[in-house]
Structure formats: structure tokens, C-alpha cells
């Protein structure tokens, strides 16, 4: 009998993150053909923990407790001889050696490697990116179907379909390659793209709830760190993406105000920014800089300039314009040109910025991008052209993709009267 | 003040996501923590499903109970409260009610 009051100490997202680690270990042990069985064992393990901990106390090391339960369940499944050969023929041969083989899959190092193998398997080029990202969230981040659906503002039924398609691909023989396999090096870009998509869904996505979006950014960074820890994937492109994600996420707390409106960089309260994450971003940036510049690296360098500028007015605009010039040479997109023009306007005044924006190369491709008219509106406002500014903010308002954008453009429009 | 036994039955977690499970567990922690802060928590434990039953004059030992999930006792709590009504009111805060479970509130008989 427990006479003392229960003490609770479970780190944030423990269940979710352990679900990802346990899934990876269990797929290793049970074989990728039994991915559904592996997921069932994870769910049973977590239910068992909940039943046991809710009225008693949480064990000193909850993660180790969960791993021990999952390991024992996996052994039970494997020891039922009939299923063993079907489940994992390579383990069936082990006989008495079964327990050490299963234990080996539940060590910290093995689970880290397994998560990476799973990440690479999820990013098979034959799968569409939304399928890849849904798989990553479900299998590696421990999201429920409902939570994946919520993250993408999709229906649970649509997500179920995506996951079924993805899991069918994972069950194919050889879908889980070893990290030493050349396929891993070839697929790194696809993995980084998927993580970047996941991050952007959190950073720029239309979901109105900041908590959901911050979660997606945090998950992308967590998986990025896993890549950076393994010699096979600790490469400059990985560091550049991590740098960019950390330097953007550091500023996430200042991006929305209490009403949920987007706050422009100029008006953000810099004391809300996450300094530790910014410092981490700077470290990744310096490690990425050993390789020739890539678009991601240049974008990270621009993010770093903003992150470490003591105030908006004291930003190194000349440095930022130079970085945008280099970025444009790599990636001549109208959005890059737009951002370059905004920086140039800070350096040389609104009239100069307007001139750039009005003759922007590829501006017809920005027809549905609300930040093009919004940038024009800003510069007209600064130049004292109130009527033109109002027109542009009205256009931005019509193109707004989320409540946060809408509220922001609404306020800008009010400033023109 | 009198003592009361809470008997918890049912509660389904299979459909919850890992994050929802953790939030649910934290809700239990908050609920029991508040009972404890007010000095009303005396004891409590979760129970494993299954077990044995010893029955009749012949003292037969059988496996069980094999109750349906919704009837299965999953744990108990011993609390103090002013009255049965008060104890029932406190039980309304129990998180098991959010997952289709129930709380039976029983006064402990005094000598």
C-alpha cells in the first residue's frame, strides 16, 4: 500500500518521444513486415505504463521502465514459436540467444541508429513528400493519427490513407537500409527536405494554434540533431538545415501577439527570443560553413544576422543585402528577390525599395503571395503614399492564408487612415 | 470527517495518442495532488487485471475475475471527506470519467 502522496516527474513529451524510440527498436526486432504489430506493442506498453503510474508513482527512470516492458513483450511475441519464423526468420535461428539479440536493439545507441534507418526508409523517393512527413510524425515522433491530421489541417481519414500507403512501402524487403549503405548518402537530401517541410509547416503553416506549430518545429530540430550525431549523416548540409531551423525557431516566441496576429520582425520583442536555441544555431552555422555555400547555408546566415542584431534599427542591412545577392545567384526565385528588395529599402530608403519591387523579376509568380503586396504597402506607407499603401494592404488581406496573416494585414490597413 | 473508498472501473486508453496518454496521466497527478494537499489522500494503488478467486466452503481457487473491461476494477483510493456527498463531489474531478470509466464511492464503516 502506498501511504505517501504520489510524486510525479515525467519530462514533457516523454510518452511521445519514447513511442518513437520504441517503434524503431521493435521494428528492428520484429521485422519491417510487422510494423503494425510493432506499433501495437508500443501502444500496449504505454497503456500499461499509464495504468500503473496513474495511481502509484512514476518510476525513477520512466524511459528505462518503458523499454523493459516493451522488450519483454517483444520477447513474448517472438517466443510463441509459431509466429517467430513468420515474424523474424533471422531471429528464429537464434534459439536461446534470443534475449541478448533483443536487448541489443533496446540500447541507447541502437535505438538512435534505428530511428535514423527509419527516417531514411520513410523518405523513399517513390513516396510523395506529404506521405513521407506523415510517416515521420507517426513512427518517429509518436504523433497519433488525429494529431498528424491536425498538424496538416487534413481529415483523419486522409491521413490514415497516407499512412497506409507509406507503411506498405516500408514493409517491402530491404526498405530499411543499413546506415553504411550508399542509399543513405544518396537519400540525405530527401530526408533534409522532409524535415524542412515539417519545420516550415510549423513555422509558416496556417494552423492557428501556436503550440501545435512550435511542436512541429521542435520535432524537426530533434530529428535534425539525430542526423548530426551520426558520422554517416553529420555533414555540412545537415548542419546548414539545423542552423536555419534553430535560428528561425529561436524567434518563434515573438512571431504572434496575444491576439494571434503575425508580428513583423520590426515590432517583435527581442527579449522573447530563445537565446539558447539561437546560440545552438550559430554553432551549427559555423560547422556548416566549412563547405561551399548552399541556399540553406545562406538563408541560415541571413537568419543569424537577424537573430543577433541587438535591435531592428541596428541590423547590418548591407551584410544582409550581400547575402541575398549570393542567395539569388544560387536560387533566382522571386521570393528571394522580394526579400532582397525589402532589405535594400532598409539600407537605401523606401523609394529605392519600391523601384526594385515594382520591376521585380518573376513578380507574376507572386500573384497569390500576400507578402508581395504587403511589402509594397509597407514601403508606400513609409514613403507617405497612404492611398497606394491602403490599396496594397487590401490586396494582401484578400490573399491572406491564415488568421494570423489576416489580423496583421488588417492592422496595417488601419495604419493607412 | 470519515473515510471513503474509491473503486475505479473501466477506462479505455487504446484510442489515445501517446501525448494524450501523458496528459491523462498528468491529470491524475493533479487530481490526486490536490486531494493530498488538502490532507484527504490516505492511500491508493493500481491493480493488475486477472488474479485468483477463492470460493465456497470447499475453498476452491479459480483464475479470475474475467470481467468485461468496463467492469474490471483497475485500482482504488482511500480518502477522507466530510460526508458521502462531499466524497462523491470530489470523485467528479477524477480523470477516469473522461475515458469512459467510473468511480464507485463507498463509505468505510466505523466501529
Contact call for A8 and B21, based on CB within 8 A:
no
How would you list the strands of the sheet with B73-81, edge to edge?
B41-46, B73-81, B2-10, B101-107
ipTM: 0.93
pLDDT at res. B17:
95
Say if residue A286 is preceded by a cis peptide, omega within 30 of 0: no
Q: How far apart are CA A189 and CA A243, in angstroms?
A: 16
Going by the DSSP 8-state scheme, the letter that residue B71 receives in this structure is: T
Cα-Cα-Cα-Cα dihedral sign, residues A103, A104, A109, A113: negative
CATH of domain B2-107: 3.30.70.1060
User: What pLDDT score does A87 carry?
Assistant: 63
Find out whether B13 and A47 touch, Cβ atoms under 8 Å.
yes
Which grid cell sits at A111?
535505438
The sign of the dihedral angle between the CA atoms of A366, A370, A371, A375 is: positive
Look over chain B and give the mean of its residue pLDDT values, rounded to a whole number.
Answer: 93
The helix-helix angle for A236-249 and A210-229 (nearest 10°) equals 150
Strand partners, B77: B6, B44
Report pLDDT for B111.
78
Instruction: Give the pLDDT score at A47.
Output: 95
Sequence-distant (6+) residues with CB within 8 A of A322 are: none
**B65 interface with A at CB cutoff 8 Å:** no
Is the Cβ pair B44, A144 closer than 8 Å?
no
> Which pLDDT score, from 0 to 100, does residue A375 have?
97
Give the per-residue pLDDT at A206.
Answer: 72
Which residues on chain B are in Cβ contact (under 8 Å) with A218?
Answer: none
DSSP 3-state of B103: strand
Q: What is the DSSP string of A162-206?
A: HHHHHHHHHTSTT-S--TTSHHHHHHHHHHHHHHHHHHHHHHT--
Q: CA-to-CA distance for A69 and A66, rounded, in angstroms?
A: 5
Cell numbers linked to A3: 501511504
pLDDT band at B66 (very low <50, low <70, confident <90, very high): confident
| Rg from Cα positions in chain B | 16
> Which of A2, A3, A46 is facing B21, going by the closest CB pair?
A46
Contact list in A for residue B14 (CB cut-off 8 A) is 43, 47
pLDDT in tens, A23-47: 999 999 988 888 999 999 999 999 9
Structure confidence at residue A78 (pLDDT) = 86
Residue A83 is predicted with a pLDDT of 60
Q: Quick one: average pLDDT of B71-90?
A: 95
Q: Look at residue B107 and tell me whether its pLDDT is greater than 70.
A: yes
Residue among B24, B44, B74 whose CB faces A2 most closely? B44
With 0-12 CB in 10 A as exposed, 13-18 as middle and 19+ as buried, what is A108? exposed
Distance CA B20, CA A404 (A): 27
Q: Looking up cell 497527478, which residue turns up?
A: B29
Q: What is the pLDDT of residue A89?
A: 60
Is there a contact between B28 and A54 if contact means CB atoms under 8 Å apart? yes
Pull the grid cell for residue A80: 510463441
Residue contact A8–B33, C-beta within 8 A: yes
Q: Which helix (H) or strand (E) holds A16?
A: helix A14-30
For residue B76, give how far its alpha carbon lies from the nearest alpha carbon of chain A (Å). Answer: 8
Contact between A375 and A338 under an 8 Å Cβ cutoff? The reply is: yes
Residue A337, C-beta contacts closer than 8 angstroms, at least 6 positions apart: A328, A356, A360, A361, A362
Low-confidence residues of chain A: pLDDT under 70: 1-9, 81-96
With contacts defined as CB-CB under 8 Å, which chain A residues touch B22? 10, 13-16
Among B14, B29, B36, beta carbon nearest to A43: B14
Q: In angstroms, rounded to a whole number, what is the distance separating the alpha carbons of residues B9 and A216?
A: 36
Q: Which CATH superfamily is domain A316-417 in?
A: Tetratricopeptide repeat domain (1.25.40.10)
DSSP β-bridge partners for residue B103: B8
State how far the alpha carbon of A291 is from the alpha carbons of A85, A227, A242, A247, A269, in Å.
48, 17, 15, 19, 34
Rounded to 10 deg, the angle between the A156-170 and A35-53 helix axes is 120
Q: Tell me what pLDDT residue A93 has.
A: 63
Reference B7, options B85, B101, B84, B111; nearest CA is B101
Cα–Cα nearest to A135, from A237, A35, A45, A52: A35
Q: Residue B43: which of A1, A47, A51 has the nearest Cβ?
A: A1
Q: In terms of pTM, does the model score above 0.80?
A: yes
User: How many alpha carbons fall within 13 Å on the CB side of residue A303?
Assistant: 28
Task: For residue B110, name the pLDDT band (cuts at 50, 70, 90).
Answer: confident
Residue with cell 518513437: A20
Amino acid at each position: 500500500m502506498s501511504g505517501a502522496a504520489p510524486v510525479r516527474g515525467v519530462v514533457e513529451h516523454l510518452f511521445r518521444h519514447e513511442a518513437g524510440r520504441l517503434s524503431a527498436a521493435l521494428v528492428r526486432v520484429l521485422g519491417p513486415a510487422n510494423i503494425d504489430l510493432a506499433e501495437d506493442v508500443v501502444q500496449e506498453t504505454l497503456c500499461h505504463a499509464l495504468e500503473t503510474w496513474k495511481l502509484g508513482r512514476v518510476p525513477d527512470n520512466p524511459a528505462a521502465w518503458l523499454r523493459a516492458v516493451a522488450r519483454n513483450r517483444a520477447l513474448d511475441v517472438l517466443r510463441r514459436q509459431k509466429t517467430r519464423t513468420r515474424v523474424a526468420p533471422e531471429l528464429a535461428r537464434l534459439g536461446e540467444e534470443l534475449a541478448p539479440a533483443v536487448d541489443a536493439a533496446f540500447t541507447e545507441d541502437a535505438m538512435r541508429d534505428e530511428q535514423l534507418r527509419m527516417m531514411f526508409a520513410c523518405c523513399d523517393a517513390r513516396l510523395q513528400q506529404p506521405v513521407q512527413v506523415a510517416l515521420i510524425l507517426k513512427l518517429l515522433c509518436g504523433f497519433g493519427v488525429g494529431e498528424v491530421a491536425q498538424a496538416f489541417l487534413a481529415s483523419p481519414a486522409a491521413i490514415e490513407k497516407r499512412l497506409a500507403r507509406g507503411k506498405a512501402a516500408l514493409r517491402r524487403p530491404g526498405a530499411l537500409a543499413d546506415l553504411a549503405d550508399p542509399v543513405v548518402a544518396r537519400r540525405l537530401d530527401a530526408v533534409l527536405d522532409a524535415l524542412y517541410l515539417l519545420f516550415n509547416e510549423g513555422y509558416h503553416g496556417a494552423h492557428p494554434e501556436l503550440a501545435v506549430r512550435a511542436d512541429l518545429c521542435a520535432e524537426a530540430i530533434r530529428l535534425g540533431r539525430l542526423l548530426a550525431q551520426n558520422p554517416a549523416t553529420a555533414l555540412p548540409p545537415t548542419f546548414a538545415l539545423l542552423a536555419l531551423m534553430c535560428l528561425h525557431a529561436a524567434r518563434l516566441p515573438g512571431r504572434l501577439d496575444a491576439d494571434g496576429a503575425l508580428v513583423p520582425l520590426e515590432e517583435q520583442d527581442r527579449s522573447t527570443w530563445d537565446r539558447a536555441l539561437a546560440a545552438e544555431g550559430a554553432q551549427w552555422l559555423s560547422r556548416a560553413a566549412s563547405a561551399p555555400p548552399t541556399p540553406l547555408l545562406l538563408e541560415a546566415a541571413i537568419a543569424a544576422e537577424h537573430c543577433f542584431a541587438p535591435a531592428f534599427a541596428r541590423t547590418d542591412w548591407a551584410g544582409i543585402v550581400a547575402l541575398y545577392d549570393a542567395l539569388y545567384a544560387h536560387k533566382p526565385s522571386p521570393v528571394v528577390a522580394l526579400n532582397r528588395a525589402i532589405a535594400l529599402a532598409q539600407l537605401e530608403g523606401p523609394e529605392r525599395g519600391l523601384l526594385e519591387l515594382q520591376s521585380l523579376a518573376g513578380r507574376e509568380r507572386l500573384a497569390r503571395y500576400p507578402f508581395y503586396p504587403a511589402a509594397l504597402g509597407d514601403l508606400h506607407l513609409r514613403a507617405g503614399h497612404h492611398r497606394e499603401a491602403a490599396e496594397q494592404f487590401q490586396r494582401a488581406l484578400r490573399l491572406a492564408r491564415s488568421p494570423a496573416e489576416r489580423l496583421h494585414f488588417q492592422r496595417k490597413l488601419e495604419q493607412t487612415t | 470527517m470519515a473515510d471513503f473508498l474509491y473503486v475505479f472501473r473501466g477506462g479505455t486508453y487504446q484510442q489515445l495518442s501517446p501525448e494524450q496518454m501523458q496528459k491523462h496521466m498528468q491529470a491524475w497527478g493533479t487530481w490526486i495532488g490536490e486531494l493530498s494537499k488538502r490532507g484527504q489522500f490516505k492511500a491508493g494503488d493500481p491493480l493488475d487485471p486477472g488474479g485468483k478467486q477463492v470460493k465456497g466452503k470447499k475453498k476452491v481457487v479459480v483464475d479470475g475475475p474475467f470481467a468485461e473491461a468496463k467492469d474490471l476494477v483497475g485500482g482504488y483510493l482511500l480518502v477522507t471527506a466530510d460526508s458521502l456527498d462531499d466524497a462523491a463531489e470530489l470523485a467528479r474531478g477524477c480523470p477516469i470519467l473522461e475515458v469512459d470509466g467510473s468511480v464507485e464511492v463507498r463509505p468505510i464503516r466505523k466501529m
